[in-house]
Chains A and B, each alone.
Chain A
Amino acid sequence: MADTTNTAHFNRARSAAENPVKRFFRATEIDTRLLGMVGAMLIIWIGFDFLSGGLFLTPRNLWNLSVQTASVAVMATGMVLVIVTRNIDLSVGSILGFVGMIMGVLQAELLPQVLGFNHPATWIITLLAGLSLGAAIGALHGMIIAFLNVPSFIVTLGGLLVWRGATWFVTSGRTVAPMDATFRLMGGGTEGSIGATASWIVGFLACLAIVASIINARKQRKRFGFPRRPVWAEYFLSGVGCALVLGAVAIVNSYPWPTNIARRYAEANGISWPEGGLFIAHGIAIPVLIAIVIGIVMTFIATRLRFGRYVFAIGGNPEAAELAGIKTRWVTVRIFALMGMLCAVAAAISTARLNAATNAQGELDELYTIAAAVIGGTSLAGGMGTIAGAMLGALVMQSLQSGMVLLGIDSPLQRIVVGVVLVTAVWLDTVYRARAK
């Protein structure tokens, strides 16, 4: 008891000496670094909107942006764990290509022979096969790294070449299309979105979850008499969280189906075509929903499970982790297997979106994935990084690219800009961290 009162006194004494801004950040425990990233992204968004004459901040563009980000964002969540343990994975783009090609052949050529075309089980069989294959490839990389002591840079550089080559051999370079109708929903598009009502339901459930988790965390800390956040900070955080979620839902719900598709839908369902056109909202795209669920699951793994704790401990001090009795090698294998599985998810999203599996699918994605993780605050020195940061990093990268496309900037110049932004972002982060110390 005496202890908690002491702490309270201590905290109060400290906060009285601080200015209101600092007190605000201490009370809400908001990560200022993440906030800075959100700020940078808003500047990029507003800048592009201004330059493109109001084309960027439209429901349509933001919805497309979310769909385009999904595949790299999924892989970036795994890349965080890889980089946190002081490894790197250069093979994710090639694994995406190879797994995507296998999934393409499976659903477009092999399964129809057995099950017939557009069988309802085709998509799930394909997806499960892809996930297993991705996990197996990742586990193979992980074992070579952990048990044969080959540096991950080399193993995955080899993987980059091997799996890209293997992709070609599957069909001798032929593009496989079209994909199964149900499978295609994972790629987004008009049909691959859940619609307005379901989006609102998802949004409200998310708000409930935010409030419940804040209440639960507070209860837990109260039970053991630890210092707690002030009540106003809890309300503030719940309010901001819910507002962001519902705002995002409102935006995707104000992007209507294109007129042609809506007209066809109306005809097929016997709805008379109204005067001003039929407004059917897209709602949240399925690939975005997949990416969000994966982000939540990966955050749970990284922060709430023993495996995640070990990942960060290994990144902080590999020797200490080993001496503490952690089976560091198996942790490495599991990280790479997980990374391979996430590549398979990304492969499903991108083949479904393209409605084809090609040779070049996922080329350069390894670099965008690594860049997303690094821009999102993952330290290449190991031990530091967040899933949310990496996903935000992916969104920043994609915003830059889409924005430049909107402005009609040539693709060589786009690459130059992305490269410069990457280096600048990491430099700014280094400066921030040096000052934070």
Chain B
Amino acid sequence: MSEQRTPLVEMKNISISFGGIHAVDNASVDLYPGEVVALLGHNGAGKSTLIKILSGAYRRDAGEILINGEPADIHNPRDAKKYGIETIYQTLAVADNVDAAANLYLGRELRTPWGTLDDVAMEAKAREVMGRLNPNFQRFKEPVKALSGGQRQSVAIARAILFNARILIMDEPTAALGPQETAQVGELIKQLKREGIGIFLISHDIHDVFDLADRVSVMKNGQVVGHARTEDVTKDEVLGMIIMGKVPPKAIPGPGAMQMA
């Protein structure tokens, strides 16, 4: 089925190295509209680096990025945003000392006809979006620093969906959250999926992944071990891919698959 459609994102043969270390080596992943693809792997396997190339934080040394089948030129975060790619970083990447509205619109501020910041309009829109995500949120006048982990997370997510993202990258979205907030983020992912947004989910939590993702791509030492549909593999098999690079029969092996001697 999915083979006939054009992928939303196709990252082909991506490589990047830092000072001689191949952080990502010839990796290829793809993502279809309304799909959640989980990227799995140990710390330092290259997941975050690969995804930062897509979000424009790093520049690739080699490889190609296609958005809707067309080559995309992504050199910095602004370019990525032009293609509708929004990222929620592991570190949340919010400016601690300004308020929620300022964070939502950071880099894309609304302005009055005189060129000044239209804080009131931004606050109005922020109240609307935050009301949808987290109806209890009322602290619009305080710097983000004063908020709880979950509230900061909802600010980061609101920022990503505020500008009609088509591709959402979530790097460990639940790492800083309690169980209830994690469930909220899960609900949100399902809702965004129904709206046809493609989501790359980076996570350590294999349970989360099986709940939310349609497919998994596993990385090890900068290379892709393999891809699989979550319904075709068990959690143990995926763990085997993560830890040993062993590819189960129903998965598609990548360049990083364990060589069968």
* A interface residues (Cβ-Cβ under 8 A, vs B): 3, 7, 10, 220-221, 223-224, 226, 300, 303-306, 309, 312-317, 319-326, 383-384
Are A320 and B77 within 8 A (Cβ)?
no
CB < 8 Å neighbour of A7 from B107, B116, B138: B138
Are A312 and B109 within 8 A (Cβ)?
no
Are B97 and A324 within 8 A (Cβ)?
no
Are A306 and B109 within 8 A (Cβ)?
yes
Are B77 and A226 within 8 A (Cβ)?
no
Interface centre among A305, A309, A320 (most CB of B within 10 A): A320
Query: In the complex, what's the smallest C-beta–C-beta distance from A433 to chain B, in angstroms?
Result: 12
* B interface residues (Cβ-Cβ under 8 A, vs A): 55, 57, 76-78, 81, 87, 89, 91-98, 102, 106-109, 111, 115-117, 120-121, 123-124, 127, 131, 138, 143, 145
Are B127 and A3 within 8 A (Cβ)?
yes
Could you give 13 example pairs across A and B, Cβ below 8 Å? Answer: A10-B138, A224-B124, A226-B123, A309-B106, A313-B97, A317-B95, A320-B92, A323-B55, A323-B57, A324-B107, A325-B76, A325-B107, A383-B97
Contacts of B87 in A (CB 8 A): 323
Query: In the complex, what's the smallest C-beta–C-beta distance from B122 to chain A, in angstroms?
Result: 10
Query: In the complex, what's the smallest C-beta–C-beta distance from B85 to chain A, in angstroms?
Result: 11
Contacts of B77 in A (CB 8 A): 322-325
Contacts of B143 in A (CB 8 A): 316
CB < 8 Å neighbour of B117 from A305, A324, A325, A384: A305
CB < 8 Å neighbour of A304 from B95, B117, B131: B117
Contacts of A224 in B (CB 8 A): 120-121, 123-124
Question: With the chains together, A312 CA to B143 CA distance in Å?
Answer: 11
Contacts of B108 in A (CB 8 A): 325
CB < 8 Å neighbour of A305 from B89, B116, B131: B116
> Which 7 pairs show the lowest CB-CB distances between chains A and B?
A316-B97, A383-B97, A324-B107, A316-B95, A320-B93, A313-B95, A325-B78
Are A326 and B97 within 8 A (Cβ)?
no
Question: With the chains together, A312 CA to B81 CA distance in Å?
Answer: 22
Are B120 and A321 within 8 A (Cβ)?
no
Query: In the complex, what's the smallest C-beta–C-beta distance from B48 to chain A, in angstroms?
Result: 13
Contacts of B97 in A (CB 8 A): 312-313, 315-317, 383-384
Query: In the complex, what's the smallest C-beta–C-beta distance from B49 to chain A, in angstroms?
Result: 14
Contacts of B91 in A (CB 8 A): 319-320
**Least CB separation from B81: chain A residue:** A325
Known: A304-B117, A323-B87, A326-B106. A317 touches B111 (CB 8 A): no
Question: With the chains together, A305 CA to B57 CA distance in Å?
Answer: 26
Other than the known A316-B96, A383-B96, what 12 A-B pairs have Cβ atoms closer than 8 Å?
Answer: A303-B117, A306-B109, A309-B117, A314-B95, A317-B95, A319-B91, A323-B55, A323-B57, A323-B87, A324-B93, A325-B77, A325-B108
Query: In the complex, what's the smallest C-beta–C-beta distance from B235 to chain A, in angstroms?
Result: 33
Question: With the chains together, A242 CA to B127 CA distance in Å?
Answer: 34
Contacts of B131 in A (CB 8 A): 3
Question: With the chains together, A278 CA to B202 CA distance in Å?
Answer: 81
**Least CB separation from A319: chain B residue:** B93
Question: With the chains together, A319 CA to B145 CA distance in Å?
Answer: 15
Question: With the chains together, A292 CA to B113 CA distance in Å?
Answer: 26
Query: In the complex, what's the smallest C-beta–C-beta distance from A394 to chain B, in angstroms?
Result: 23
Known: A3-B131, A306-B111, A384-B97. A321 touches B106 (CB 8 A): yes
Query: In the complex, what's the smallest C-beta–C-beta distance from B214 to chain A, in angstroms?
Result: 27
Query: In the complex, what's the smallest C-beta–C-beta distance from B247 to chain A, in angstroms?
Result: 34
Are B102 and A309 within 8 A (Cβ)?
yes
Question: With the chains together, A223 CA to B109 CA distance in Å?
Answer: 20
Question: With the chains together, A7 CA to B93 CA distance in Å?
Answer: 29
